Chain A
Amino acid sequence: MTKRVSIHLRQVRCPSFEFGRLSSSLLESGYAVRFRAEGTSMHPAIRDGDVLFVEPVSSDDLHIGDIVLYLSGESRPVVHRIIARVRKAGNLRLLIKGDNLFHVDEFIPWQRVEGKVTLVERGDSILQLKSGWPEMLVVFRSWWRLVKGEMSRRVLHRRRWN
């Protein structure tokens, strides 16, 4: 059986609906991946348009304060920060949150982490991300934002019922 021929090579930016599958496949094979961030949920650590380098990671390399790429429930790629680690019956679970958000994403098993952000390219400068006390300050601020968000919600709730 013969088919009509046409040979196409298209150069594109990885479409978001394929991003998860492609990045997973590459990171699982040991390749780092490089892509442009979208959104403001990690502002100011990561800004809209920054280029991120994400490297494969093992559970021992995941620390509070690290920024990771994981796939959310709908296989949507998310780049947010670890704000807590819990080890239960030998299984490591991570609490993830965007720095600029008033709510946490979710607790995820560490296996859902695709990789860790190690470099941020912003214009001509390259920022190297390391685990350390500056990240802990960001985590502290993130928890404080969470508490503030919860307090505001409670005040609104009380006003609605009074």
Chain B
Amino acid sequence: MKSVDMRPVRESTVVSREIAGETVLVPICRSAADLESIFVLNEVASFVWERLDGQHTLQDIELAVVEDYDVAPEQARTDVQGFVAQLLENGLVQET
């Protein structure tokens, strides 16, 4: 379980683009955008991704998700934390 005070920040080596209504994350590998391994985010994941700026804590993000989407606070916490853990695992964000 991640600390709710954690302020994850997007890695500078990841480029995001809006393609056909979806957010696509492209890692920069050896100075090139690697199209062999891109990440696609759904709507809620994009909502969370936009807030991973090193300013918002996980708790801020969880509250924003509860406010905008039909989800119980406990479920939002589990989902946001799981998502951030996945991003960390794939080197797309870093902890601050």
Contact = CB atoms under 8 A, between A and B. Distances in A.
Contacts of B41: 8-9
Contacts of A19: 35
Given A10-B39, A19-B35, A31-B32, A5 B71 contact: yes
A86 interface: no
Given A9-B39, A22-B35, A33-B35, A4 B69 contact: yes
Contacts of A51: 36
B96 interface: no
Contacts of B24: 18, 22
14 contacts: A2-B69, A3-B70, A4-B70, A5-B76, A8-B41, A9-B41, A9-B87, A12-B39, A13-B37, A13-B38, A22-B17, A33-B35, A34-B30, A35-B34
Interface of B: 15, 17, 19-20, 24, 26, 28-45, 48, 65, 68-71, 75-76, 79-80, 82-83, 86-87, 90
